[in-house]
């Protein structure tokens, strides 16, 4: 059965505590100012349980508010750690048009702190709650911001004020809001992350779908804790009258019978980033077409049940995340360790019963494609194939440490933003280490999140001798956030800074040869090296496009001359040190490298 109660059956100690969305019968959602006013009232009425802080400022100058909630006034990470409490970060409004998490959060905090409905919910858990992550996007409210969605009357805009989608920004960290979030994350080091959204896409019976990262992306301890959580909570959730499913990414939006597949996620997303930080995470997607009150209640119940479950046994979560951190640190001592960078769908599907709706498919003369129309009055089950499991695809052997030359401030800035431990060298240092030579770059042809991403390149490893300027950094891998550093710095990682286009300039030759000069150079090179002439003639024979380009014919020689190679076009600036090379460095490593920090 679907949840049908639009007004939750909350027992109010006083109707004064009705939230703005409840008061409006979920036709509207409150402004940020009204949201903060309500939260401030809660703090004033229950100062020992609710505490508000500002953790950042948006590009338009608005304060970013976080609520700390705890049964006994544990409001700092130090106190939480000392008391062995689990820290759970719940965030709403990273996409502020998908705002049920905000209104559910206000109700749940009230029912924890004021009404006595769940007074013991946070005895052993500290809840860190962001009511609205994208505050500027939330202020940019309009009835027209989400064409696919059924209310509330007006809703926020998907991009923040600089038109960045915060749920693609976790690794590249361009937005000031994301920089603030990363600081909050490092301060609290939450044990579990919950990120609340609403879907787009297909219509079906479920009022909520959820996603956790594939076990192959997680430490086994974290994967198994996460599995246990959903195994325990989801049946209890159904008993409350909800109908939930794993995240539904249809292979073909025109025909749900063709099956579902894992959407892939990745470190640019909240749950993918948490995985790199050795943490379990849950993506909640309420269904866009269910009435707004149903969506709010769907989040309210799921978050309450999750918190209650963690509150019963915080030690299990703490043990899992502690082990995951320790495992990443210990991996640095294992030269045979491999780290997967990319994942592919397991080609073997499982079977899945989709609780969908009857639908029709007609040919459209507008799109010249199939037009699918659902009939939400006719529930229907479909047995479909489910390609939900992932397998590691491309893997690398991590180095003992990375070296980032001082001039690559854009890289060092990101390492710092992610709280990665490193040591700066304070004198020039000449070293030989493993580098990457990158060639044949190809870029995307349109902008994505303000970047022309590097799509493709060839890669070869090559030893390189460099003289590092003072201020260059050594990044050891025996640290708990090593996987974040690997994602940033390994060229082939899908969200590497290279892929995001921050290093595009390395592919630009800054000098060129005039044809009149290259004519002479070519003849000199052939005279010295007859084999080169054979190679040239073979290429003329095998490659008609080459043969047709006088420029390419001359550059064949230029690119093989010291005039070109001196420019080191495609030399990836980040180097990799093995354990022996790292030990020989006359640099002491970060003291925080060995422990959680
Ligand atoms: Zn979303």
Q: From the CA of 44, how far away is ligand 1's center (Å)?
A: 32
Average model confidence (pLDDT) across the chain:
95
CA angle, residues 176, 403, 574, in degrees to nearest 5: 75
Q: From the CA of 132, how far away is ligand 1's center (Å)?
A: 13
Q: From the CA of 198, how far away is ligand 1's center (Å)?
A: 6
Residue 62 per-residue DSSP state = P
pLDDT, tens digit, 9 for 90 and up, residues 293-327:
999 999 999 999 999 999 999 999 999 999 999 99
Residue 490: what pLDDT?
98
Q: From the CA of 117, how far away is ligand 1's center (Å)?
A: 30
Q: From the CA of 167, how far away is ligand 1's center (Å)?
A: 8
Q: From the CA of 491, how far away is ligand 1's center (Å)?
A: 28
List, in order, residues 6 or more apart from 66 with CB less than 8 Å away: 52, 53, 54, 55, 128, 129, 130, 184
Per DSSP, the three-state class of 67 is strand
Residue 15: what pLDDT?
57
Which residue shows structure tokens 């309210």? 300
- Side-chain half-sphere exposure of 177, counting CA atoms within 13 A: 32
Q: From the CA of 286, how far away is ligand 1's center (Å)?
A: 10
Residue 1: what pLDDT?
42
Residue 386: what pLDDT?
98
Q: From the CA of 470, how far away is ligand 1's center (Å)?
A: 43
Residue 396: enclosing H or E segment and its boundaries? strand 395-396
List, in order, residues 6 or more apart from 583 with CB less than 8 Å away: none
pTM, whole model, 2 decimals? Answer: 0.94
Q: From the CA of 423, how far away is ligand 1's center (Å)?
A: 37
Q: From the CA of 202, how far away is ligand 1's center (Å)?
A: 15
Q: From the CA of 148, how far away is ligand 1's center (Å)?
A: 12
pLDDT, tens digit, 9 for 90 and up, residues 417-454:
999 999 999 999 999 999 999 999 999 999 999 999 99
Answer yes or no: are the C-beta atoms of 499 and 448 closer than 8 Å. no
Residue 589: what pLDDT?
64
Q: From the CA of 140, how far away is ligand 1's center (Å)?
A: 16
Which residue shows structure tokens 């060639």? 439
Q: State which residues of the chain have pLDDT below 50.
A: 1-13, 591-597
Residue 13: what pLDDT?
44
CA angle, residues 138, 202, 252, in degrees to nearest 5: 125
How far apart, in whole angstroms, are the C-alpha atoms of residue 17 and residue 34? 13
Q: Where are the alpha helices (DSSP H) in 48-154?
A: 77-82, 100-113, 135-139
Q: Where are the beta strands (DSSP E) in 45-191?
A: 50-57, 63-69, 86-92, 125-130
Q: From the CA of 104, how far away is ligand 1's center (Å)?
A: 16
Q: Of 296, 307, 305, 289, which Cα lies nearest the Cα of 19?
A: 296
- Most distant pair of Cα atoms in the chain: their distance: 96
Query: Hey, CA dihedral for 452, 455, 456, 462, is it positive or negative?
Result: positive
How far apart, in whole angstroms, are the C-alpha atoms of residue 112 and residue 216? 36
Answer yes or no: are the C-beta atoms of 151 and 293 closer than 8 Å. no
Q: From the CA of 95, how far away is ligand 1's center (Å)?
A: 5
CA angle, residues 380, 381, 385, in degrees to nearest 5: 140
Which residue shows structure tokens 């609780």? 355
Distance (Å) of CA 500 to CA 411, 529, 570: 12, 41, 16
Q: From the CA of 187, how far away is ligand 1's center (Å)?
A: 25
Which residue shows structure tokens 């470190």? 267
Answer yes or no: are the C-beta atoms of 341 and 395 closer than 8 Å. yes
Q: From the CA of 403, how far away is ligand 1's center (Å)?
A: 36
Q: From the CA of 99, how far away is ligand 1's center (Å)?
A: 9
């Amino acid at each position: 059965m679907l949840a049908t109660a639009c007004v939750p059956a909350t027992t109010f100690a006083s109707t004064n505590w009705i939230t703005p969305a409840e008061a409006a019968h979920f036709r509207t959602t409150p402004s940020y100012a009204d949201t903060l006013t309500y939260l401030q009232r809660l703090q004033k009425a229950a100062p020992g349980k609710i505490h508000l802080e500002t953790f950042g400022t948006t590009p338009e100058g608005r304060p970013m508010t976080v609520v700390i909630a705890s049964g006994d006034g544990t409001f700092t990470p130090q106190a939480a750690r000392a008391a062995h409490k689990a820290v759970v970060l719940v965030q709403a409004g990273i996409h502020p048009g998908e705002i049920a998490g905000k209104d559910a959060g206000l109700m749940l905090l009230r029912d924890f702190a004021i009404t006595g409905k769940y007074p013991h919910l946070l005895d052993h858990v500290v809840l860190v709650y962001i009511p609205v992550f994208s505050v500027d996007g939330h202020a940019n409210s309009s009835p027209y911001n989400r064409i696919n969605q059924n209310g509330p009357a007006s809703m926020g805009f998907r991009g923040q004020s600089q038109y960045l989608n915060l749920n693609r920004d976790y690794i590249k960290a361009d937005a000031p809001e994301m920089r603030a979030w990363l600081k909050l994350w490092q301060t609290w080091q939450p044990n579990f992350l919950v990120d609340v959204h609403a879907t787009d896409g297909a219509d079906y019976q479920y009022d909520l779908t959820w996603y956790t990262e594939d076990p192959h992306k997680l430490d086994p301890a974290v994967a198994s804790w996460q599995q246990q959580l959903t195994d325990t909570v989801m049946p209890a959730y159904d008993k409350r009258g909800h109908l939930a499913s794993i995240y539904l990414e249809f292979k073909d939006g025109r025909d749900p019978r063709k099956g579902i597949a894992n959407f892939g996620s990745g470190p640019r997303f909240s749950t993918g980033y948490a995985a790199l930080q050795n943490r379990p995470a849950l993506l909640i997607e309420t269904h866009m077409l269910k009435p707004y009150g149903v969506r709010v209640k769907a989040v309210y119940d799921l978050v309450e049940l999750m918190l209650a479950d963690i509150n019963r046994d915080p030690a299990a979560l703490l043990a899992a995340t502690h082990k995951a951190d320790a495992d990443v640190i210990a991996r640095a001592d294992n030269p045979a360790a491999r780290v997967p960078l990319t994942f592919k769908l397991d080609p073997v599907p499982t079977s899945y019963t989709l609780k969908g709706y009857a639908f029709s498919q007609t040919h459209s003369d507008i799109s010249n494609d199939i037009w699918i129309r659902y009939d939400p009055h006719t529930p229907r089950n479909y047995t479909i194939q489910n390609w939900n499991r992932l397998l590691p695809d491309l893997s690398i052997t991590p180095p003992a440490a990375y070296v980032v030359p001082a001039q690559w401030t854009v890289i060092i800035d990101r390492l710092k933003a992610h709280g990665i431990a490193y040591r700066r060298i304070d004198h020039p240092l000449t070293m030989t280490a493993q580098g990457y030579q990158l060639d044949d770059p190809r870029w995307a042809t349109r902008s994505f999140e303000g970047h022309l991403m590097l799509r493709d390149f060839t890669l070869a490893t090559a030893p390189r001798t460099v003289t590092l300027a003072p201020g260059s950094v050594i990044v050891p891998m025996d640290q708990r956030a090593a996987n974040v550093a690997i994602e940033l710095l390994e060229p082939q990682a899908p969200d590497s800074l290279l892929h995001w286009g921050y290093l595009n300039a390395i592919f630009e030759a800054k000098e060129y040869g005039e044809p009149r000069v290259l004519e002479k150079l070519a003849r000199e090179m052939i005279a010295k090296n007859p084999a080169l002439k054979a190679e040239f003639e073979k290429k003329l024979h095998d490659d008609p496009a080459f043969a047709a380009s006088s420029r390419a014919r001359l550059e064949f020689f230029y690119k093989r001359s010291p005039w070109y190679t001196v420019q080191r076009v495609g030399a990836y600036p980040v180097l990799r040190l093995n354990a022996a090379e790292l030990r020989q460095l006359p640099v002491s490593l970060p003291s925080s490298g060995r422990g959680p920090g």
